[in-house]
Amino acid sequence: MASSDVQICAIAGGSGAGKTTLAIKLLDLLGDRGSHHTIDWYYRDLTHLSPGERAVVNFDHPDSLEVDLFAEHLALLAAGHDVDAPVYDFATHTRTTETQRVEARDCIVTEGIHLLGLPAVREQCSLTAFIDVDAKLRLARRMRRDVAERGRTEESVRDQWLSTVAPMHDQFVQPSCAYADRVVQVNEDLDVVAEELLKRLLNS
């Protein structure tokens, strides 16, 4: 449980499951009471590697994330302190010199594929959800996002899916579903789910 009156809601699930979509819907309902936080900002800086070396890093393994810093920031938010989160450039696989302020509010909505599999993170959460979506749909969504937003080619997205995304999902992500307070199925209306999560947060 979180260590203060701040509520932390963690939304997990495989790549392309709809985590950000659900997070945004919940944040819209929370209004000024909510802040957005994602572990995607905490990928390790690979400036020391060449572009070719960066391209073959397994970004779907938990070790690709700076979990200690993420957990530290989450604890600060839970204690009512604002944090300056890193800014990650997915096109170059490096951190920028900028930071982004995350304000401590009544509810922190955080998201990421590995959240529920990380004890240092999971233990701080007031409410956890896992979006369970089949691989075919998740790949289609990931393809659209990475090509449009992260400067990727369809071939590179597909190759990465087969080599690391799918195996790491099976090894780390899917098993963490067991820790979810709420498992969201693919056919559920995310607007309705967001309203349910809001009620649970307000009543916890």
pLDDT (tens digit, 0 to 9) for every residue of the chain, 204 residues total? 344 689 999 999 999 999 999 999 999 999 999 999 999 999 999 999 999 999 889 999 999 999 999 999 999 999 999 999 999 998 889 999 999 999 999 999 999 999 999 999 999 999 999 999 999 999 999 899 889 888 889 998 999 899 999 999 999 999 999 999 999 998 999 999 999 999 999 887
Element (H, E) at 106: none
Give the DSSP letter of residue 80. T
The b/e string for 165-175 (b: 16+ C-beta within 10 A; e otherwise) is: bbebbeebbbe
What pLDDT, on the 0 to 100 scale, is given for residue 152?
A: 87
Kindly list the domain boundaries of the chain, sorted by start residue.
7-203
Q: Which residues contact 191 (CB under 8 A, 6 or more apart)?
A: 25
Element (H, E) at 112: none
Largest CA distance in the chain: 50
pLDDT tens, residue by residue, 108-157: 999 999 999 999 999 999 999 999 999 999 999 989 988 988 888 999 89
7-203: CATH topology is Rossmann fold (3.40.50)
Residue 150 token pair: 């992260």
H or E, element range at 94: strand 94-102
* Secondary structure tally for the chain: helices H, strands E: 8, 7
**CB contact at 8 A, 95 and 45:** yes
Per-residue buried b or exposed e for 14-28, using 16+ beta carbons within 10 Å of the residue's own CB:
bbbbbbbebbebbbe
**pTM score:** 0.91
- Which run of H or of E encompasses 83? strand 83-89
DSSP 118-160: -HHHHTT-SEEEEEE--HHHHHHHHHHHHHHHS---HHHHHHH
pLDDT of amino acid 204: 74
Quick check: 40 and 66 in contact, CB under 8 A? no
